[in-house]
Structure 1
């Protein structure tokens, strides 16, 4: 199940959504601290997190799938959002240095196609950062937020998907340790809960953030060089050899 664009926008305009954006964006900036001179694409509904990169990156774009719907972004400025199929983005090969997936993977009906397209549009040294609901977190169990929709992932599942899609996983982090409710004291203590959660309750984080680099050549593991087996074929007897062979009398019963 995929969240529609209006639901996503309403969530990020809410008090809980604003705290969510701030906490996740902080982790994103820690993982990508320097994007000077780079081109960056946000795929899915990544616009709440792209503003943090606009001051540094050379180019920042967003793409939203038609199944989700599209909204212009940024507000009050020239639009930087394109409508594009997850497996057919309107971008040339190797056009981007960074791709950020948010509210994309967990709701996709074509995960393999989505990952192939991310690989295609990334430069040879490009990096991918995926944000998905954590299977062991509270947020994936409640549908009151967009992170409660779609398929949650475990770190192992996400790492395997990246590897199968020709990416090399680099690291996986967690965020959103506060409970998904709009209670004001909870929202106010969000940063403190993040610190405590990361140190003592890592598996309870609501989202996983996995970074990977594009893999150009897939290594072949577990294959041994084939051993050659030689078979000695019998040589036919020459006619002369048959004539020279000693005569043996036939046996009679």
Structure 2
């Protein structure tokens, strides 16, 4: 079940959403420090974390699922956002270099189909960066943020999902170690709770962040199997003659060995 795009926009307009945006945006840009010349796709509701990439990347577009809705992005200039079906992206094969998924897999009806479609549009060696709610974390148990909706994941579940979709995880990290409350001292980005939680209880973070690369396997040529062609053997039995049965052949074997039995296909004639 997808959240409405208006609810997502309103959350990031609040103070708690602004804090989440600042923390996760730092992690995303730390993992992808440079995207020079790359084509980047944001899928789900990734626009709060795409800011800053458009000045360096070749192209940045934001696709939002039809069940969620779409809002204009960026706020100024031509719109780079579109409403799409998450399992039928309007892109050719190998057309993007990086994909950022936020508020996507936990909401999708079939996450495998989404990842398989992303595998299709990713270039060889392309990478995806996935942000999903942590099954162990407190953020997945409270509805004070969008991470409390949908299907949370564990590391093991994400590993299985990615490998079944022909992706290989290359980097893992966690974020949102602070409590999902509205108290100003706790939710400030400069609050020590984020650093304390990252050190002492990293497994209970609010979200899991995983980077994975597209796997390519070399196709093996199909070898043609050698088939035996039928061959015809010449028959030693004259035309019209009845072949000897097994019993006759057994009885004639000693005579043939003694040279007393001769085979001929021509009738015998008297000599003058």
> Normalised by the shorter chain, which TM-score bucket?
0.7 to 0.9
CA distance in 2, matches of 1:74, 1:212: 27
- Once the two structures are superposed, residues 108-143 of structure 1 have per-residue CA deviations (whole angstroms, 9 ceiling, x without a partner) of 012222111110110011001110000000100001
Q: Between Structure 1 and Structure 2, whose CA radius of gyration is higher? A: 2
Contact 2:174 2:202 in 1 (8 A): yes
Is residue 23–residue 189 contact of structure 2 (8 Å, CA) maintained in 1? no
1:36 paired with 2:44, answer no
Runs of 4+ deviating beyond 4 Å: 238-241
RMSD: 1.9
CA shift digits 1:78-135 (9 cap, x unpaired):
2110111001111111000000100010000122221111101100110011100000
Q: State the structure with bigger RCO (CA 8 A, min sep 6), 1 or 2.
A: 1
In 1: Cα distance, 2:147 partner to 2:14 partner = 15
Unpaired runs of at least 5, structure 2: 220-245, 255-272
Alignment partners' CA distance in 1, 2:60 and 2:2 = 24
Deviations 1:66-86 (A, max 9, x none): 100000011132211011100
Aligned to 2:265: none
CA distance in 1, matches of 2:46, 2:191: 21
TM-score by length of 2: 0.79
1:171-192 deviation line (CA, Å, top 9, x unaligned):
2110001111121111225553
Number of equivalences: 228
Contact map agreement 1:63 1:83 (CA 8 A) in 2 = yes
Q: Where do 1:1-16 residues align within 5 Å? A: 1-16=1-16
Residues 24 and 240 (structure 1 numbering): CA distance in 2 closer, same or farther, change over 3 Å? farther
TM-score (norm 1): 0.85
Higher helix share: 1
Question: CA separation in 1, counterparts of 2:189 and 2:21?
Answer: 15
Query: Where in structure 2 are the equivalents of 1:53-92 lying within 5 Å?
Result: 53-92=53-92
Q: Which residue of 2 aligns with 1:24?
A: 24
